[in-house]
Structure 1
Amino acid sequence: MTRTFISIGSNIEREHHIHVAMTELKKLGVHFEVSRIFEAEPVGFSGPNFYNCVVALETSLSLSVLQQTLKQLELDYGRAPDAKKNQSRTLDLDILLYGNVQQNSLPTLPRADIYKFAFVLWPMAEIAPDMKIPGEDRTILQLWNEFGTEQALWPVDVIFEGSHESL
């Protein structure tokens, strides 16, 4: 079993798509944990605000099968196959970490979003504050405490079964 962290985002029918993503991801492994839901303004384009969270789970799926499964879930729940990076979406699922894997080929791991976006790092700090990212000396909580980019982000009161209550 490999511990993996997956970011979930949606700005189209947000509650529905975040809920179905959690339901589907629970089927992929064990020891499922999820951060609170955060609302964030879109980065790089204008559109409705996103709901974001991070899920941790242990899976027996290989990295390539996990990646294919997440892409298929995005398609199954309405994401266009030719969707561009900076646009509204029903569902966005990204592997942030997969065990201790470090690679530059797709999917790039650890995913750079961990260092760039508050909507990834704050939720990760909730569910794995003392964990170190492969190749990093600081804990996730230390990275969050040092995070300097101003990004509009706030927890929302949308609570799903199994979601983490507080930091």
Structure 2
Amino acid sequence: MADVFLSLGSNTARYRHLTIALDSLTELFGPLKLSRVYESESVGFRGSLFLNMAVGFSTDMPLSELAVQMRAIELNNGRQLDALKFSPRTLDIDILSYGELCGYHAGIELPREEILYNAFVLLPLSELAPNHRHPLDGRSYQELWRAYASDQKLWPVSFLWQGRDLSAT
């Protein structure tokens, strides 16, 4: 079994798409570990505010199949494969880490470089798995967040899912 951490984001019909993603992930993997949901400004382009969060679970699904499943969830939610890298997203699901794998596996960079550079990835991940260590850096996600220096702004928002208030997670 591999511990998997994902980053979820949306700035188009944000609440609906995150809800569908969480429902789909629960159907595939059972109970999920969830961070709070954060709202943040777009990074790299001018666009509406994003909702972001981190999700964790354990699975024996091979990484290549996990990638296929995540892409299917995105596509089923209107994700455009030909969209610019920095553009609005109905749903963005990024595999941040898969066990202790490092390097490129199944066409995926692990751990995902964004962990170290984007507040909307690192803060939810540090909240979800504070003592989990970055496979390359060696510091815990909580230590990485404490050392993080950037002007990226994000703030927790209310988000109800399956009767649970994720702002209180």
- Confirm or deny a common fold (TM above 0.5): yes
Do the aligned partners of 1:37 and 1:155 also contact (CA within 8 Å) in 2?
yes
Runs of 4+ more than 6 Å apart: none
Residues 49-72 of structure 1: CA deviation (Å, up to 9, x unaligned): 000000001112110000011111
- In structure 1, what is the Cα distance between the partners aligned to 2:76 and 2:134? 31
Instruction: Find the counterpart in structure 2 of residue 139 from structure 1.
Output: 140
**1:164 Cα deviation after fit:** 6.7
Confirm or deny: 8 A CA contact 1:103 1:109 kept in the other structure.
yes
Q: Alignment identity in percent? A: 38
Q: Summarize the alignment of residues 9-88 of structure 1 with structure 2, pairs less than 5 Å apart.
A: 9-88=9-88
Query: Any stretches of 5+ residues in structure 2 without a counterpart?
Result: none
Structure 1: how far apart are the matches of 2:168 and 2:97? 22
- Which residue identity lines up with residue 152 of structure 1 in the other structure? K
Instruction: List gaps (5 residues or longer) in structure 1.
Output: none
**TM-score with structure 2 setting the length:** 0.93
Q: Deviations over 1:59-86 (max 9, x none)?
A: 1211000001111111111011212210
Match of 1:55, SS state, is: strand
Q: Which residue of 2 aligns with 1:100?
A: 100
64-73 vs 103-112, which moves further: 103-112
Distance (Å, rounded) in 1 between the aligned partners of 2:30 and 2:5: 12
User: What is the alpha-carbon root mean square deviation over aligned residues?
Assistant: 1.4
Deviates more, 1:139-148 or 1:79-88: 79-88
CA distance in 2 between counterparts of 1:64 and 1:21 reads 19
- What is the rounded CA distance, in whole Å, between the counterparts of 1:164 and 1:27 in structure 2? 22
Amino acid at match of 2:133: K
The residue identity in structure 1 corresponding to 2:124 is P
Q: Cα–Cα, structure 1 residues 66 and 164, in superposed 2: closer, same or farther, change >3 Å?
A: farther
Give the structure with the larger strand fraction: 2
Distance in 1, matches of 2:20 and 2:65, equals 19
Distance, in Å, in 1 between the alignment partners of 2:18 and 2:126 is 19
TM-score normalised by L of structure 1: 0.94
The answer as to whether partners of 2:36 and 2:124 remain within 8 angstroms in 1 is yes
Question: Who is 2:160 aligned against?
Answer: 159
The answer (yes or no) to whether the contact 1:97–1:110 under 8 Å persists in 2 is yes
Partner-residue secondary structure (3-state), 2:69: helix
Amino acid at match of 2:52: N
Cα pair 2:78 2:90 within 8 Å, conserved: yes
- Native 8 Å contact 1:2 1:60 kept in 2: yes
